[in-house]
Structure 1
Amino acid sequence: MFDAMMHEFGPENVRGISGEWLAADDLADNLMSYNAGIQDMLSPEVAALNIFTGKMATRWGFSKVEGIETAGTPGNYINVSALFVRPEW
């Protein structure tokens, strides 16, 4: 799905990739992975890059994380959002 989106729009036309991960989602894997990274003492940016969305974004050149917003306590967040951008932007 991620690759299909990039091919459809063209990576040169994409300015950033926004992600939001919620505890209430049926697909809370990204949030659980992010929280695990925080519990392992990773920085918020590195934790975001280590989850599925971060890995896919990095594969397309969006390897800088900006604007991380969280709700909850560190390592047990219930909501996290982040923006993945190209380092040169």
Structure 2
Amino acid sequence: MAASFADDGTSWATVEYEPNTERYEVEQYGPRTLWEEIRNAFPRWHDLGKPERSRFGLAVDANGQRVWLDSPSCLVDRP
């Protein structure tokens, strides 16, 4: 039962990765569909040249949150 991992209203996703296969078993739970968010973000990450995680940053202020790459002046648009 998927809800056995979390029943507190949070979201989670788990993926059973197997090398050399194109399909994966995915379970997700909660108000956000995290695996779909990852699938949608992957092409953008690829288009940016597959940058390392350390190159990303997050700016948070009264206007909201913004993801940047290499510098706060280089914002990454959400898809």
- Which band: TM-score by shorter chain? under 0.3
Q: Which has the higher contact order (CA 8 A, sep 6+)?
A: 1
Q: Rg: which structure is higher? A: 2
Query: Of Structure 1 and Structure 2, which has the larger fraction of its residues in strand?
Result: 2
- TM-score, structure 2 normalization: 0.26
- TM-score, structure 1 normalization: 0.24
Query: Of Structure 1 and Structure 2, which has the larger fraction of its residues in helix?
Result: 1
